[in-house]
Amino acid sequence: MTDSEKNHMLRRVKELYGDRLTEDQLAAVEASLDPMIKVLEQLRNMPLENSDEPYSVFKPYRKDKQ
């Protein structure tokens, strides 16, 4: 996890919602960033090719085509 990424996210939360959040709430947001950034790093490290298909393909339900 990069501190700059965490700081950027926290700064953005403060810009958008800082006037509505208490210090305790901001501290909770900051603590919640660590696991999110960890997952983001795992996703970024997943090697993908342009031809890789999504895990699941969305197929909308159509009543007229069963």
Q: What is the pLDDT of residues 49-64, one digit of tens each?
A: 999 887 887 888 888 8
Whether the CB-CB separation of 38 and 19 falls below 8 Å is answered with no
What is the per-residue pLDDT for 2? 62
Selection from 52, 5, 65 nearest residue 33 by Cα: 5
Residue ranges covered by each domain of the chain: 3-44
pTM of the model: 0.65
Selection from 5, 36, 43 nearest residue 28 by Cα: 36
Q: How far apart are CA 6 and CA 29, in angstroms?
A: 11
Name the more confident of 65 and 40: 40
CB atoms within 10 A of CB 16: 10
Q: What is the pLDDT of residues 1-14, one digit of tens each?
A: 567 999 999 999 99
Q: What is the pLDDT of residues 11-51, one digit of tens each?
A: 999 999 999 999 999 999 999 999 999 999 999 999 999 99
